[in-house]
Every structure is written in C-alpha cells, then in structure tokens.
Structure 1
Amino acid sequence: MPRRILSLMLSALLLLANTAGPPELRVAAVTDGATLLLEDGRSLRLAGIEPAAPPMGAEPGQSWPLAEAARQALAELAVGQRLSVRGEARTDRHGRLLAQLVRGDGLWLQGELLARGLARVHTRPDARALAREMLAAEAGARAAERGIWRTRAYAVRPADPDALRRDRDSFQIVEGRVLRVSKAGGDAYLDFGEDWRTDVTVHIGRAVLREFVAAGIDPLSYEGRVVRVRGWVGLRAGPLIEATHPEQIERLDGAASSLRETPHPSTPPPDLSDDEEE
C-alpha cells in the first residue's frame, strides 16, 4: 500500500477517535447514594457530593434519615441508562473512579440528586469541577426544604465551639461570622471567636493559600464576613476545619442564613414522620 494512502487512513482513524463521543458506562448495581458498581466490575463514586448517609461512628445497620431514599433514587436514575463521564474521570485513593456523570438524555446525576435534596456538595482537591453549579443546585433544594433539608440531621451548623465538638470527625456545613483572619508561618487562620485556643477555626495551609491567591481570593477579605464552610470537623484546640481548596468557603455577603437547630450527630435521627420524601 502506498505510504500516502496509509498516512491518509491513519489520519482518518485518528480523526474518528478524536471526534467519537465518550465511552458509555453501564451500571450493575448501586451501593449507596453516590456509589455505582459498573458492569465491568469497577466502582464509580459520583464526584463532588456527599449523599444522605449515616455519619462515622453510627451503629452498624442503624437507620438514618433518607439514606435509603438516596440509594433508591440513584438506582432509578442510573441503572439501565446510558451514562457517560462529563469532564475528566480520576481514580481516588480507594481505587474507585471519581467522575461527574451524565445520562444519554442529558440529565446530570449530581445536579439531580442535589436538586432533590438527597446529597450535599462535598468538593475535594481532586473533585471540584462544576462546584458553582452544584452549590446552586444545593441552595435551591435547601431553600425549598427538600429531602435532607427538612431534617435536623444534615442541617447547617453554627460556628459554635461547644456544638461542633459534638460533631467531631464528621462532614459538616458550618456558618458564622469570621471575627479575625491572621497569618503565621505562611498559613492563614480564620477565627470565629475571641479565643483561638477554644473557638472554631478554619486553617488554610501555605500550599493551599497559593491556590486561593491564584483564584483571586485574599483570605483577609473574609474578616468580618459571614461565610459558609464545608469540610471535616477536627479538634486541635477548638474545633477546626482544614481548607484544602477555595471552593470549600462561600462568602454569603447578605445571603439569608441557613442555620437551624441541630442535634448531636451520634444521637438517634429525628422522627421523620412529617419529613419523609414524597
């Protein structure tokens, strides 16, 4: 075969490969409100969300508000559907694929679960694409009190040190006014009270601080502002949330607060007789 013809054939094959749509995924089962078992044996986690699920430390088999509803909703949305990855897929530390998923009819799975109030936004350094769109979907569900936003188990927590100590080692969304922002050793600290040794703090490490600057955010701009922070609550002196990327912190700037009274997360979930998903 002449080289010129062979070259043209190879070019055509490359063009077809580049213009072909993304490979389709087929779902065999759904294990929780954000995890899919694919027919090829791989596990896929929906990137950027935290589904309705029991917190760490809950008793094995303990019922938790809307956890089963979230699993069932994802099964209805995904099983038997043509699914493709939106953007880039990654592999997380557990060996699972981590991706945004879209159905063949254009429905975005993360957006649908958030809009139904069956998940919260939980971005990570390696899973933060479409953060703005996800936050908007979550905000709409919260304002309408859909799904988890009709229960106290998932409610936004105030930046109160005594309350957050009881939320240690759990993912929470916390709101409060930043009293002071300080920098030390290249790190930044957002303090929500007078005594940093006991009050709620958000820590932004030196490497992460560079990402805030690259995003056009000066942490000093949070001082005196009401913010919403999402992340795992740890305990160093007082309750502490480690900021690992800028999308974790929202400046509310006059937006209505989402605060509601919340129980200790290890207590039995509230009676949902008036809160069940329709």
Structure 2
Amino acid sequence: MHRSSSALAISLFLLTGHAFAEEKHVAASPCTESEKPVTLGSPLSYSAPVAIKPRGQGGFTLKGLVPDLFANSELERQKQKEISRFLRKAPIEAYVTGHKKPDRYGRHEAFLAHLKDGNEILLQDSLVAKGLARVLTDSLEDDCADHLLSIEATARKTQKGLWKEAAYRLKKADDLHLSAIVSTYQIVSGIVLSVHRKADGTSYVNFGDNWYEDFTISLGKKGLQSWEAKNKFLDDLQNKPIYVRGWVEDRGGPLIELQNASQLTVAGETKSLGDTR
C-alpha cells in the first residue's frame, strides 16, 4: 500500500462511515492486488457518466474508464442497468489509490468490486466486457492496463455494445476528420512516417509529411520516459504500424498526447489490443 493509505482510510471513514474490510483470501484482480478495500454500505447510487455515491458525503469515480455519456439512449440505459445490478450485490468494496487527491466534488478514483465464489469481480471489468465502457489508461499501472485492455479487445472484436457505433470504432490516421473527433477519446491506427525529437525534450511521432495538418502523437519528457522504460527507443517506431489511444486535440492538425506507455501499441507485439477493426 502507499504510505498515505492510513490517512486516506481515516478520511474515507469520516466521509462515508465505512471502514476497511477485513483481510480475505481471494483471487485478486491485477487492478486491486496492491490496495486494501473500503467496504461500502447501502444504498449506493449511480450518477452518469462514471460516479458512484454512497449514503453521506464524498463518493467515487470509476477508475480506468473513459467518462462516456452515450448519445445512444439504449446504450446509456444498458449501462445504467448493469451498474445498478452490480451495486445490489452487497457488500461492495472500493479500492482507492491512496496517493491521488479527490476531485473538486470530493470524489476519489476507485475500483469497485464484490466477491463471487472466492473471486473478485470488478464493476470496471463487467462494463468493459459488455461494451458499455472504454478503457482509460492514464492513471493505471501496467498490469492493470493490460488486464482491462485485453477485456476491451474481446468486446471490440465481437462488437459488443458501443463498438457497433461508428463514433467509437478504430480511426485511420490518414483519414481523420478533425471537426468530428476533436476533444473526444479515440483509438487511431497508422504507419509511423518519422520520429522527431526537439531540444526541449518534446518528441513527435508523425504520420504524414505536413506536421500542421496530418495526425501526430506528442510526448513530453514523462511520456517518453514511460514509453522507453517499457519498450525500446522511440525512434524504432519508424515505418511500423501502431495503435494509439487518447484525447484528440487540435494543434493545427489532430494530435494525441502520450502520457504513458499503455496508450501506444505496436501492431502484432501484444495480445491486449486484439482485432481492432
């Protein structure tokens, strides 16, 4: 556990009236094995797109999920139904990362879980498996990111839920319509044309000759360190087919900023992305 977890436990107890659960011998998820849970009482309510609120103050947001509010009302209804079904399986436990501060509404990022036959079942797993949520890797440890991305790959391959919708399908780097995707979370595929490093530590992965119009990935020093610590040199990406996920920005042309290595995958070098059609 993180060194601040004891203080966090006291804070959560004061806010929600719930304490740490007793130790159990369970098959833990790679997303929760390093944390200790807080057991939540009932009732628990859901607030779209990813907030869970126990009785009293505070609350939680679902860690590792893109905060999608579906325009398709049927998808949103299915998501709400799945979350409500899960929250009825008391007791529900929240795994909260101790070193991250709550948001401005006092909510902590958390994984929510219940036990079934000695196995830990995560709400995040259930939503991703049914195609009712996409994976947001920004604050995830590598093992957890790989776990959720593998579940997502299966849902995408079988076109579960949101993966039937054109808005969420894989986008091609050479056929992006910026006005339609700016400020949205996307998965983009393409073949890297070049890699450019600047003196200030910023790096760019380019997919076309015109840096001001074609799709680009940018990496600050932190993003570059994350990638090269887990993989090989960034320059080795040249001429390789890759997939990248993230929020699309308008920087003259469409751009995704790489925060951690789990956002970028080289085609054929991992099982976690699966069939991305």
TM-score where L is the length of structure 2: 0.76
SS in 2 for 1:24: strand
1:93 to 103, 114, 131: 103
1:51·1:70 contact (CA, 8 Å) conserved in 2?
no
The residue type paired with residue 92 of structure 2 is L
In structure 2, what is the equivalent of residue 69 of structure 1?
78
Q: CA deviation at 1:211?
A: 2.4
Q: Distance in 2 between matches of 1:20 and 1:65?
A: 39
Q: Distance in 2 between matches of 1:79 and 1:119?
A: 20
Q: Is residue 267 of structure 2 the alignment partner of residue 258 of structure 1?
A: no
Gaps in structure 1 of 5+ consecutive residues: 1-16, 55-61, 260-278
1:32 to 48, 52, 69: 48
Q: Is residue 212 of structure 2 the alignment partner of residue 197 of structure 1?
A: yes
Q: CA RMSD in A?
A: 2.6
Q: Is residue 229 of structure 2 the alignment partner of residue 214 of structure 1?
A: yes
Number of equivalenced pairs: 235
Q: Is residue 157 of structure 2 the alignment partner of residue 136 of structure 1?
A: no
Q: CA deviation at 1:128?
A: 4.3
Map Cα deviations across residues 52-111 of structure 1 (whole Å, 9 max, x no partner): 424xxxxxxx65561221122111112352122347354443332101222132211111
The residue type paired with residue 47 of structure 2 is T
The residue type paired with residue 80 of structure 2 is R
1:177·1:192 contact (CA, 8 Å) conserved in 2?
yes
SS in 1 for 2:189: strand
Q: Distance in 1 between matches of 2:186 and 2:44?
A: 31
1:248 to 263, 267, 270: 263
2:59·2:108 contact (CA, 8 Å) conserved in 1?
yes
CA distance 1:115–1:80, change in 2 (3 Å): closer
Q: Distance in 1 between matches of 2:181 and 2:136?
A: 16
1:20 to 10, 19, 22: 22
Q: Is residue 49 of structure 2 the alignment partner of residue 47 of structure 1?
A: no
The residue type paired with residue 44 of structure 1 is F
Q: CA deviation at 1:152?
A: 1.4
In structure 1, what is the equivalent of residue 91 of structure 2?
82
Q: Is residue 241 of structure 2 the alignment partner of residue 226 of structure 1?
A: yes
The residue type paired with residue 174 of structure 2 is D
Map Cα deviations across residues 174-204 of structure 1 (whole Å, 9 max, x no partner): 1111111111122211111121121000000
In structure 2, what is the equivalent of residue 265 of structure 1?
none
Map Cα deviations across residues 224-249 of structure 1 (whole Å, 9 max, x no partner): 12211111111112111111111111
The residue type paired with residue 97 of structure 1 is H
CA distance 1:84–1:28, change in 2 (3 Å): closer
Q: Distance in 2 between matches of 1:223 and 1:50?
A: 29
Q: CA deviation at 1:253?
A: 2.3
Q: Distance in 2 between matches of 1:208 and 1:222?
A: 15
Q: Distance in 2 between matches of 1:192 and 1:181?
A: 9
Q: Distance in 2 between matches of 1:30 and 1:53?
A: 13
1:33·1:73 contact (CA, 8 Å) conserved in 2?
no
The residue type paired with residue 142 of structure 1 is R
The residue type paired with residue 163 of structure 1 is H
The residue type paired with residue 144 of structure 1 is T
The residue type paired with residue 211 of structure 2 is W
CA distance 1:198–1:19, change in 2 (3 Å): closer
1:161·1:200 contact (CA, 8 Å) conserved in 2?
no
Q: Distance in 2 between matches of 1:32 and 1:19?
A: 27
Higher Cα Rg, which structure? 1
Q: CA deviation at 1:43?
A: 2.0
Return 241-250 or 157-166, whichever deviates more.
Answer: 157-166
Q: CA deviation at 1:119?
A: 0.6
SS in 1 for 2:208: coil
TM-score where L is the length of structure 1: 0.75
